[in-house]
Structure 1
Amino acid sequence: MTPTPRPLTQFVVKVHSRCDLACDHCYVYEHADTSWRRRPKVIGEEVLNAVAERIGEHAASHRLPVVRVVLHGGEPLLAGPDRLRHAAEALRAALPPGCALDLRIHTNGVQLSKDYCELFADLGVKVGISLDGDKAANDRHRRFADGRSSHPQVLRAVALLNEPEYRHLFAGLLCTVDIENDPAAVYRALAELEPPAVDFLLPHATWEEPPKRLPGGGETPYADWLLTVHRLWESDGRPFAVRTFESVHRTLRGFSSLTESLGLEPSDLAVLETDGSFEQADSLKTAYDGAPATGMNVFAHSLDDLARHPGIAARQSGLAGLSEECRSCPVVRSCGGGLYAHRYRADTDFDNPSVYCGDLMQLINGINGINGISESGGSSTGPAAVPAAPAVPAQGGESLLPTALTPAQVEELARGYGGADTVSALAESQLALTRAMLAAAWDASGQGRAEAWSLLSALDVGAPAAVDAVLAHPYARAWAARRLAGDLSVGLGPLAALAAAAAVRAGRGDAVAVPVRGGWLHLPTLGRIAVPDGEAVVTGLADGFEVRASGGSVFTAYDQPLRRVRLAGGWTVALEDLDPLRDSHDHPVADRLSESELLGWTGALREAWELLGRDLPGYAEGIRAGLGTVTPLRPGPAGRDVSSAARQAFGAVGIARPATAPTLALLLAHEFQHVKLGAVLDLFDLYDRADERLYFAPWRPDPRPLEGLLQGTYAHLAVTEYWGTRTAAYDGLPGEAADRARAQFTLWRRYTAEAVERLVESGALTGVGVRFVEGMRESLAPWLAVPMPRAAEQSADRIRDERGHVRATGA
């Protein structure tokens, strides 16, 4: 059976194959490929309809939640408004339910007008503009064929997109780097235009046609140019998004890249030319004539056929697809070998480092701030002082990618819910992210193939279930997150402890040394042993373990095992009161629970679980599938319930045990909403990360960033349903408890509805974000339709007026 290929999710559709400028650095007309000469000037409606159909069937087959399409050229505005409208409408109509369209157009701006902006506003098309900086910089390459400057027309286009009614259409600026241009002048000229984003692109070059170098310009002039811009960008407080810089920051911390020119993520891009031909990435036109060709077309071949093309597959093979020199490079996980086209050499094809190899290493190390400084604070010899470490691979050696959610699962989560399968998919994606973050943190440590890391890697091949069980521990990632954030005080001991715990679980006889501090050796997910400070060697045996302390003492049992509570229906919860990294929550953690406190927690959890199944059945199955750890917190001030979800601890919530089981049930549901949404935000950008505005939530007196408002609103979907269900149970009954439930339900449905509308009105949601928040609104709608007595409305008004904001429990 032919294996299912990785889906393609980004498409460049050439709607016009000619241009009204004569830019001398254009890869379409000025580089090796000449296929443009043989193609129709304008894409036909038949081709557009066929490509829309192909994208639609591909999205349906792979259950894609979103596809991105860029209308391109040549100069796409030359295709005219009618053809552009047809393209947008055909694409949107062809997509299956549950799949969003992120539609963009990239233009030189010369032809942009109010009429076009009105068209794009109607069609939901974002607009990107090419601009290389100030007039001197832009005129170096971007001129008309008769030599006239295009700069005034481009500035008019940007000014048009900056008008309030069109600002939401402005996707950003694309600037091609020229080392003859002053980087500070270019940056300031672009920043003055207040773009939402700027892409700084290296000029296309290969080993056959190397990039420009200036006499006396140093060995890494492109890195030097970009680092100058980076310093200005950082000193200005990152006023707009820059994909290159943000991708370096992200990949250094184990996250995915935002651009195909960096990182190891598989390429998911395809190009459609005006004659209906499918091609690979446009940048390949710079390599040799015919380099991007596939021999396929939209009429005879599906996108799955295209995804199986050897050229596409070559850009999807991650580390294995790089040259030997790249695979051993210390910055390979950030660099990713550079843009595929930039690796070309006639005798070795693409099996080479990027022609910008030295520049990319200098750029990454410069952004990372490690030049000349080692982890201990002493001097080093530069990049070579940070050797590469192998990533913990996915099982079977497959690429480390988050598990995709189906459109139905995304919709389920958007409505606030998430069954066992959906939450399990989130958990798998979080496990992949934990692996990546651990690898990145270990790379940054400079320890190379040290014992603990080598053992963890070996166990991942020989006993993968043991490694998964340890890495799925919520606080496994906390160590990596702190290290990557610059906190070196946590040391390397926690990673050795993870390796030791995996060795004990595997029981193969593997041994590893673990540093001991404070008299306790902690084995994550298992327990801790009282051991003298120093270094202890942990050996995993078939029937247990052996710990040999530095003084020769041997220990074979836990002094304090991790305790778990088994609940009805097979849900088991660990009460995590041992892990030193459990302090990841916003509140102080409790010490080791006494036996009486353990009994109190056990009874409260059993009763709370029963209430969750009764009052929040739509949430209960997801909680059982994804919430495996409750970390006891210290009690808050009298009368205040304390709970927390840590962003880097999927599967855990922190709670100070409240006075009643119903309150515990609500806190569990409320905090697990935060856990779920955090995992969703690791998979999808629901909002514009560049939006720095603050927003008021109805339940808080202080303004929050948009993510804070989104998190609170999502959590309160569960709060609203909890009180709504309890109100229904009291239907027609008098009494204090019934009145309180009605007042809380009235208050929280009102608060949550106001917050949903505030999110919608922010204008900062992405296409997926809009659909997600719409799902939240749909989930809330039935509760808003429930009639409530006037007394409940008055009570809600009184609570709001008296408190200004209230806690999620309403207690």
Structure 2
Amino acid sequence: MSETVPFSQFVLKVHSRCDLACDHCYVYEHADTSWSRKARAASDEVLERTAGRIGEHARTHRLPAVHVVLHGGEPLLAGPERLRRAAELLRAALPAGCALDLRIHTNGVLLNRRFLELFAEQGIKVGVSLDGDRLANDRHRLFPDGRSSHAKVLAALALLREPEFRHLYAGLLCTIDVANDPVAVYEALVAERPPRIDFLLPHATWDHPPVAPEGAGPTPYADWLLAVHRHWSERGRPVPVRIFDSVHRTLRGRSSLTESLGLDPADLVVVETDGTLEQADSLKTAYDGAPATGFDVFAHSLDEVARHPGMRERQSGLAGLAAQCRACPVVRSCGGGLYAHRYRTGGGFDHPSVYCGDLLKLITTIRDRVSAPVAVPAQQRRPLTAAHLDELADGLGGPDAVAALGRAQLELSRRLVTAVGAAGGSPAWQLLAETDRTAPGALDAVLAHPYTRAWAVRCLGGEQRADLGGLAELAAAAAARGRAEFELVLPVRAGWLHLPTLGRLRLDGRSEAVLRGGPDGLRCGEHTVGWDRAGDHLWQPVRKVALPGWTLALEDTDPQRDSHQWPAADRLADAELLDWTGALREAWELLGRDLPGYAAGIAAGLATVTPLAPGPDGRDVSAAARQAYGAVGIARPTTAPVLALLLAHEFQHVKLGAVLDLYDLYDPADERLYRAPWRPDPRPLEGLLQGTYAHLAVAAYWASRVRAYDGIRGDAATAARRQLATWRAHTADAIETLAGSGSLTPLGERFAAGMRTGLAPALAVPVGAAAERAAREAVAADLAAWQGAAARR
């Protein structure tokens, strides 16, 4: 491996001590003793220099995002102000267009409202360690005086689940002890409603093998995990479990979600409290000083660290494994296990994992369980849990439910693109298939782009069957994201060569061009776009807006973006980009304050805003394309509150469209037209359903505005009360029309009931007699207009 694999994941130690005395802790209880020589807390100088190094690295390698975990020890011991300082420095140091995914991992005992308010302000997601119920947790996770930590952790999790903080909840991490009941541990974790669960094998080496109960079989850890896997599968996989999801993905040739499985190169570096740069913390279990590199943030760049022999060894894939591993039939899924678990004195890391037998049994058993049943047709798959459906029916849908919709949409896009490209065997298709094998995450990023599906549907519908240039654009974009070497002919459309999700290059006077890619960047004739320097002046990248807890693309380059009912705007000038950024920041603050239940789903599922051309006569226009999940089109309104309303309204259409791709909510044979109270023309049943669902957010928005005006007089307050009274009446009327249609499926009836529940808070907000009277008059006028139009039809 000659090229440098850039780091995208950083563990920043902000405090090196802990308030618990967990006897399975790799930092304090295993071979490495360096913690005792580290500064207790990271100084301002260390934080500043670390942020600078990360920003420098992101700029050099043109990273689209970096992932930073604030860690320890126990990071909350650093205190709120030091954590705030770290977050602010990191965010300020990153170049424009590079998003910051900032998280903190804590034992939870100090987690309180003050910390969570800070994390909400700074967009810091929270992962918590919990080993199960009290019996399981107290085997290891105790205070130094022997007291249980369990009650304090549960209290912290209850606070984290409150609506204002739920979007910060990243998941639970559980270290396995095979003496604990696996199902009881799993149920205790699920009871805390985490968005994800990580089960970790306790760190061990061939010098210090993992503990196994007396009389246990040869694979106790596999047996424990498989008991959880069966229970998890039988209950419909209600929560993502990282180790299981990684096995499922790697068995299909895709990337792992954890460094302990798969062959993906490691891209993580640790910054200790004194500024020293180290390899993964898990190496502390091997021998004293194992993670050390000899580098620090004051004297060395991150590129120098990436060239360290230990880092290179962990990035060498199959070639870096022991001969026994390379010959194993499940090596591409197992990946040799966690690097640290291969260590033996005298032989270093050139061994299979000390958990080799457990990993082999775990992977092959899951493989057999997954492949044994008859495949369910794609249209019958049900990726949403009952809880997800209930959330969505209420009009909301938290991050878990929206993420599940996104996964289903990604799979749908994959099938559609396959249907377009697989038959021809073109060079573009071959490059796509190769990228799926070598860099599946890069391909997923392109397939998840909203306008990929829009293009595929157009092709399959015959609209542009003869033009498969879009396939080449997708393949080149995915390969470029994967830093692969390739050469491909791409179309030049109206003077532009397009790479979806990345940007476009100006190339006048030709209809096609040869694009070459490699680890250093892209080359097209005399034009270059490098990953390690600014691009050609004719290159226009897709620009992103990073907001607290939400990063989105302002898509003004993709020719497929013209998928909405209103025309797309041209490329935004710098001043327009600044206006959009400011408006989005204000609108996002309003959504987080006034509609937190909607904002959490928006952050999880709305990745793209496409600027539209101004509406006729200055009218506010917005749209959601049925075949472009994850995008909305909006002509920038004059005020941030209107933008907030449009974002919430249009994302309702996006969510419901994704649900309708998976489930039948109504009988498609019903071709009748129905009255939509807000429109003069009749609507088909799906149109009425879509409008009703979107107006749940409209009613909730005006309810929040009325609550803000409580006790206040004035034109704005009066207008808000009238808007609420009108929209909630319209929405309630439409729900009853849907329910009385006789064409809803049982699930559709469940959605109608959920929409009633979702509307109830808005119906309960008092608006006063004058507003109610004005609303009744408006509703009556709308009804009379509709009846008059119906009589003329």
Normalising by structure 2, what TM-score?
0.55
Which residue of the partner structure matches residue 150 of structure 2? 151
Which residue of the partner structure matches residue 357 of structure 2? 358
Shift in Å at residue 473 of structure 1? 8.0
Which of the numbers 404, 414, 430 marks the counterpart of 1:471?
A: 430
Which of the numbers 778, 787, 796 marks the counterpart of 2:618?
A: 787
Aligned CA distance change for structure 1 residues 785 and 474 (closer, same or farther; 3 Å): farther
Which residue of the partner structure matches residue 159 of structure 2? 160
Aligned CA distance change for structure 1 residues 54 and 191 (closer, same or farther; 3 Å): same
Which residue of the partner structure matches residue 563 of structure 2? 719
Matches within 5 A, 1:401-440: none
Q: Are the aligned partners of 1:132 and 1:175 in contact in 2 as well (CA < 8 Å)?
A: yes
Partner amino acid, structure 2, of 1:115: R
Structure 2 Cα separation of the partners of residues 616 and 118 of structure 1: 45
2:69 corresponds to 1:70:
yes
Q: Are the aligned partners of 1:470 and 1:476 in contact in 2 as well (CA < 8 Å)?
A: no
Aligned CA distance change for structure 1 residues 264 and 783 (closer, same or farther; 3 Å): farther
Which residue of the partner structure matches residue 238 of structure 2? 239
Which of the numbers 670, 683, 691 marks the counterpart of 1:802?
A: 683
Structure 2 Cα separation of the partners of residues 799 and 333 of structure 1: 59
2:38 corresponds to 1:39:
yes
Shift in Å at residue 250 of structure 1? 0.6
Partner amino acid, structure 1, of 2:293: T
Partner amino acid, structure 2, of 1:471: Q
Q: Are the aligned partners of 2:285 and 2:340 in contact in 1 as well (CA < 8 Å)?
A: yes
Structure 2 Cα separation of the partners of residues 15 and 572 of structure 1: 49
Structure 1 Cα separation of the partners of residues 97 and 247 of structure 2: 32
Matches within 5 A, 1:137-286: 137-286=136-285
Tell which deviates more after alignment, 266-275 or 716-725: 716-725
SS in 2 for 1:296: strand
Matches within 5 A, 1:4-19: 4-19=3-18
Q: Are the aligned partners of 1:276 and 1:299 in contact in 2 as well (CA < 8 Å)?
A: yes
Matches within 5 A, 1:499-578: none
Aligned CA distance change for structure 1 residues 138 and 6 (closer, same or farther; 3 Å): same
2:81 corresponds to 1:122:
no
SS in 2 for 1:46: helix
Aligned CA distance change for structure 1 residues 278 and 787 (closer, same or farther; 3 Å): same
Shift in Å at residue 181 of structure 1? 0.5
Shift in Å at residue 235 of structure 1? 1.6
Partner amino acid, structure 1, of 2:179: E
Structure 2 Cα separation of the partners of residues 618 and 206 of structure 1: 46
Aligned CA distance change for structure 1 residues 715 and 374 (closer, same or farther; 3 Å): same
Partner amino acid, structure 2, of 1:208: D
Which residue of the partner structure matches residue 50 of structure 2? 51
Structure 1 Cα separation of the partners of residues 278 and 496 of structure 2: 54
Structure 2 Cα separation of the partners of residues 315 and 145 of structure 1: 35
Please list every run of 5 or more consecutive structure 2 residues that lacks an aligned counterpart in the other structure.
376-409, 441-463, 472-490, 513-541, 571-586, 622-675, 689-793
SS in 2 for 1:266: coil
SS in 1 for 2:295: strand
Q: Are the aligned partners of 2:496 and 2:504 in contact in 1 as well (CA < 8 Å)?
A: no
Q: Deviations over 1:420-451 (max 9, x none)?
A: xxxxxx9xxx99x99xxx9xxxxxxxxxxxxx
Matches within 5 A, 1:302-701: 302-369=301-368, 468=427, 471-472=430-431
Normalising by structure 1, what TM-score?
0.53
Structure 1 Cα separation of the partners of residues 295 and 161 of structure 2: 40
Q: Are the aligned partners of 1:34 and 1:289 in contact in 2 as well (CA < 8 Å)?
A: yes
Partner amino acid, structure 1, of 2:49: A
Shift in Å at residue 759 of structure 1? 13
Structure 2 Cα separation of the partners of residues 247 and 166 of structure 1: 28
2:600 corresponds to 1:763:
yes
Aligned CA distance change for structure 1 residues 760 and 145 (closer, same or farther; 3 Å): closer
Shift in Å at residue 721 of structure 1? 7.3
Which residue of the partner structure matches residue 78 of structure 2? 79
Structure 2 Cα separation of the partners of residues 315 and 618 of structure 1: 31
Aligned CA distance change for structure 1 residues 364 and 60 (closer, same or farther; 3 Å): same
Aligned CA distance change for structure 1 residues 211 and 786 (closer, same or farther; 3 Å): farther
Aligned CA distance change for structure 1 residues 65 and 217 (closer, same or farther; 3 Å): same
Aligned CA distance change for structure 1 residues 117 and 352 (closer, same or farther; 3 Å): same
Q: Deviations over 1:17-75 (max 9, x none)?
A: 00000000000000000000111101100000000000001001111111010000000
SS in 2 for 1:364: helix
SS in 1 for 2:347: coil
Structure 2 Cα separation of the partners of residues 265 and 804 of structure 1: 47
Aligned CA distance change for structure 1 residues 765 and 307 (closer, same or farther; 3 Å): farther
Shift in Å at residue 472 of structure 1? 4.5
Which residue of the partner structure matches residue 737 of structure 1? none
Q: Are the aligned partners of 1:5 and 1:307 in contact in 2 as well (CA < 8 Å)?
A: yes
Percent sequence identity over matched residues? Answer: 57
Shift in Å at residue 467 of structure 1? 9.3
Q: Are the aligned partners of 2:562 and 2:568 in contact in 1 as well (CA < 8 Å)?
A: no
Partner amino acid, structure 2, of 1:15: V
Structure 2 Cα separation of the partners of residues 234 and 149 of structure 1: 32
Q: Are the aligned partners of 1:566 and 1:573 in contact in 2 as well (CA < 8 Å)?
A: no
Q: Are the aligned partners of 1:565 and 1:573 in contact in 2 as well (CA < 8 Å)?
A: no
Q: Number of aligned residue pairs: give it.
A: 490
Q: Deviations over 1:319-346 (max 9, x none)?
A: 1111111111111111010000000011
Structure 1 Cα separation of the partners of residues 568 and 32 of structure 2: 64
Q: Deviations over 1:308-329 (max 9, x none)?
A: 1111111111111111111111
Q: Are the aligned partners of 2:497 and 2:504 in contact in 1 as well (CA < 8 Å)?
A: no
Please list every run of 5 or more consecutive structure 1 residues that lacks an aligned counterpart in the other structure.
377-425, 439-465, 482-563, 575-608, 629-679, 681-685, 689-709, 727-752
SS in 1 for 2:109: coil
Structure 1 Cα separation of the partners of residues 63 and 309 of structure 2: 23
Structure 2 Cα separation of the partners of residues 224 and 56 of structure 1: 44
Partner amino acid, structure 1, of 2:196: A
SS in 2 for 1:294: strand
Which residue of the partner structure matches residue 457 of structure 2? none
Tell which deviates more after alignment, 132-141 or 211-220: 211-220
Partner amino acid, structure 2, of 1:84: L
Q: Deviations over 1:566-597 (max 9, x none)?
A: 88xxx8799xxxxxxxxxxxxxxxxxxxxxxx
Aligned CA distance change for structure 1 residues 291 and 375 (closer, same or farther; 3 Å): farther
Shift in Å at residue 471 of structure 1? 2.3
Shift in Å at residue 152 of structure 1? 0.8
Q: Are the aligned partners of 1:10 and 1:270 in contact in 2 as well (CA < 8 Å)?
A: yes
Q: Are the aligned partners of 1:615 and 1:725 in contact in 2 as well (CA < 8 Å)?
A: no
Aligned CA distance change for structure 1 residues 230 and 715 (closer, same or farther; 3 Å): farther
Shift in Å at residue 293 of structure 1? 0.2
Q: Are the aligned partners of 2:561 and 2:568 in contact in 1 as well (CA < 8 Å)?
A: no
Q: Deviations over 1:680-708 (max 9, x none)?
A: 9xxxxx9x9xxxxxxxxxxxxxxxxxxxx
Structure 1 Cα separation of the partners of residues 597 and 371 of structure 2: 47
Q: Are the aligned partners of 1:143 and 1:149 in contact in 2 as well (CA < 8 Å)?
A: yes
SS in 1 for 2:263: coil
Q: Are the aligned partners of 1:67 and 1:99 in contact in 2 as well (CA < 8 Å)?
A: yes
Q: Are the aligned partners of 1:326 and 1:337 in contact in 2 as well (CA < 8 Å)?
A: yes
Superposition CA RMSD, Å: 5.0
Aligned CA distance change for structure 1 residues 186 and 715 (closer, same or farther; 3 Å): farther
Q: Are the aligned partners of 2:11 and 2:70 in contact in 1 as well (CA < 8 Å)?
A: yes
Structure 2 Cα separation of the partners of residues 203 and 172 of structure 1: 18
Aligned CA distance change for structure 1 residues 784 and 65 (closer, same or farther; 3 Å): farther
Structure 2 Cα separation of the partners of residues 806 and 12 of structure 1: 48
Structure 2 Cα separation of the partners of residues 725 and 372 of structure 1: 48
Structure 2 Cα separation of the partners of residues 184 and 209 of structure 1: 27
Shift in Å at residue 800 of structure 1? 6.5
